């Protein structure tokens, strides 16, 4: 009987050892992290910038104001600091507008992914997932976001086969001015007043210089959000975005992004339809 008792105790001890080992294996040993099944462009949320674009691993992507026309202009040594981003995979992010995702072929034959027509880049100074150290660099690099109300172009002004400087003298040199979120040039009407559209008397005028309709969403960090507002144009029943009080317009003959041909319309002693530059003065009071 004593022998049977010893056998039973030994069996209990063995079972306890096995259970302890199983428990240790299931809870104490490190587990393999879940696989990253993301593909293509993703959306991430940043405490400062809100919704931003990233690659599948969470690395931040950027827009370049010099690419407003949709053609990549960061080449050569520029790519050391701003490597291009390309993915042939469709985005798996259900919150991303897939219709805005595209690609462009660079002059050297390489492909580059785009969003709203803007070629996408990394910033070499972003070491880790979630870093956004490249925003605002040079006043022309901005974190890529899906919800900009405005963007900036850093481009040559051109009209009537003539190049113009930022002061509208004949000459070459880039000017930093406002565009919509897809790179289409925005203009001011010189006779307008602060928050008052004096041009659009009917749909006829609106058809020539369409008002820019947008809510105040996100703006590039170089733009003070307090300078952006919305007015109602009663004559056509539309909302119009303003910058520093200036109502914003398109020019009907700017057929593609990057065009800024409207600067020569009404050009005389003064400029009737200037592009709206980032450093514009505040519109005069009504």
pLDDT of residue 271: 83
Lowest mean pLDDT among 1-10, 100-109, 152-161: 1-10
pLDDT of residue 28: 54
Taking the C-alpha atoms of residue 285 and residue 192, their distance in angstroms, rounded to an integer, is 9
Q: What is the pLDDT of residues 100-111, one digit of tens each?
A: 999 999 999 999
Taking the C-alpha atoms of residue 286 and residue 282, their distance in angstroms, rounded to an integer, is 12
pTM of the full predicted structure?
0.86
Cα separation values, 175 from 29, 181, 225, Å = 60, 18, 21
Query: Quick one: average pLDDT of 38-53?
Result: 96
Residue 137 token pair:
């660099």
Q: What angle do CA 226, 217, 280 make, to 5 degrees?
A: 40
Q: What is the pLDDT of residues 67-88, one digit of tens each?
A: 999 999 999 999 999 999 999 9
- CB neighbourhood size of 178 (10 A): 27
Query: Quick one: average pLDDT of 163-177?
Result: 94
Torsion of CA 72, 78, 80, 82, to 10 degrees: -50
Say whether pLDDT at 135 is over 90.
Answer: yes
Say whether pLDDT at 7 is over 70.
Answer: no
Mean pLDDT of all residues belonging to the chain: 90
How sure is the predictor about 266, in pLDDT bands with cuts at 50, 70 and 90? confident
Of 140, 229, 212, give the one whose Cα is nearest residue 176. 140
Query: Quick one: average pLDDT of 216-228?
Result: 95
Say whether pLDDT at 23 is over 70.
Answer: no
How sure is the predictor about 14, in pLDDT bands with cuts at 50, 70 and 90? very low
Query: Quick one: average pLDDT of 121-128?
Result: 97
Query: Can you spell out the DSSP letters for 259-277?
Result: --GGGGTT-SSS-SS-B-B
Q: Please state the three-class secondary structure of 75-93 as a single string.
A: CCCHHHHCCECCCCCCCCC
């Amino acid at each position: 009987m004593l022998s049977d008792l010893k056998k039973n105790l030994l069996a209990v001890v063995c079972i306890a050892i096995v259970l302890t080992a199983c428990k240790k294996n299931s809870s104490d040993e490190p587990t393999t992290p879940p696989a990253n099944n993301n593909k293509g462009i993703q959306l991430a949320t940043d405490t400062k910038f809100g919704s931003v674009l990233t690659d599948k691993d969470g690395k931040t992507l950027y827009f370049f104001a010099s690419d407003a026309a949709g053609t990549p202009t960061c080449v050569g040594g520029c790519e050391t600091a701003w490597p291009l981003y390309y993915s042939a995979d469709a985005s798996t992010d259900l919150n991303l507008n897939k219709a805005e995702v595209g690609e462009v072929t660079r002059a050297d034959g390489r492909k580059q992914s785009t969003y709203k027509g803007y070629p996408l880049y990394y910033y070499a100074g972003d070491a880790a997932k979630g870093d956004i150290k490249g925003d605002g660099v040079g006043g022309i690099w901005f974190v890529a976001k899906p919800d900009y109300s405005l963007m900036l172009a850093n481009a040559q002004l051109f009209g009537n086969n003539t190049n113009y400087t930022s002061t509208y003298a004949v000459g070459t040199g880039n000017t930093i001015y406002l565009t919509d979120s897809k790179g289409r040039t925005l203009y001011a009407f010189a006779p307008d007043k602060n928050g008052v559209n004096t041009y659009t008397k009917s749909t006829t005028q609106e058809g020539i210089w369409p008002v820019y309709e947008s809510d105040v969403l996100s703006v590039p960090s170089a733009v003070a959000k307090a300078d952006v507002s919305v007015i109602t144009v009663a004559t056509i029943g539309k909302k119009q975005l303003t910058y520093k009080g200036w109502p914003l317009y398109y020019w009907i003959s700017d057929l593609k992004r990057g065009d800024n041909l409207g600067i020569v319309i009404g050009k005389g002693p003064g400029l009737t339809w200037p592009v709206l530059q980032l450093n514009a003065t505040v519109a005069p009071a009504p």
